[in-house]
Homo-oligomer: A and B are copies of this chain.
Amino acid sequence: MPHARKSVTAAQVADEFSRTAKVLVRHFNERLGEHGVSTPRSRLVVEVARSQPIRLTELALAVGIAQGTASTLVDALVRDGLLERQTSADDRRSVLLRVTAQGAALAQDWTAGYERAAEELFRPLTPEQMSTLVDILRTLTADEASPAGG
């Protein structure tokens, strides 16, 4: 339980945060690389598998990237046979995304890999620290919008 200590400046917190974020990104890329996929690609496929059918913009929102970025990544995933695009009947501007059979299988593998990587990374924390961390993170992003681009 934290008690009074030398106070930290916001800039120090930002530095530390940015550093940690890079460590996290690197860790996930390494672990998922062992499964033959990058973190962003796996996140997209996993999210589609979980929420299909899902529109492109919803997907971008769900994983926290700009719509244009999602469009490009999805394009590659469709070319690779992991996702399917289908124009919505209700709104022909919309694209509904689904996983292919291959995509679904890989999504399972990658989800497991992602979870294992997360467990490795957060193993040093107690459950209470993890819970505290999530609280703090949610507080920080409480009133933030999503990336532009749509």
Q: How far is the CA of A123 from the CA of B147 in the complex (A)?
A: 21
Let me know if A137 and B11 touch, CB within 8 A.
Answer: no
- Considering the chains assembled together, what is the distance between the CA atoms of A22 and B8 in angstroms? 22
Q: Mark A121-139, 1 if CB is under 8 A from B, else 0.
A: 1111101111111111111
Number of copies: 2
Interface residues in A, total, Cβ within 8 A:
55
Q: Is the CB of A134 within 8 A of B8?
A: yes
A140 contact set on B, CB distance < 8 A:
20, 23-24, 121-122, 124-125
Q: Which residue of B lies closest to A129 (CB)?
A: B136
Q: 29 A-B residue contacts at CB 8 Å? A: A1-B1, A2-B128, A2-B135, A5-B131, A8-B131, A8-B134, A9-B118, A10-B123, A10-B130, A11-B118, A11-B119, A13-B118, A13-B122, A14-B121, A16-B137, A17-B137, A18-B25, A19-B141, A22-B65, A22-B147, A24-B140, A27-B144, A122-B140, A124-B139, A124-B142, A125-B139, A129-B139, A132-B132, A133-B136
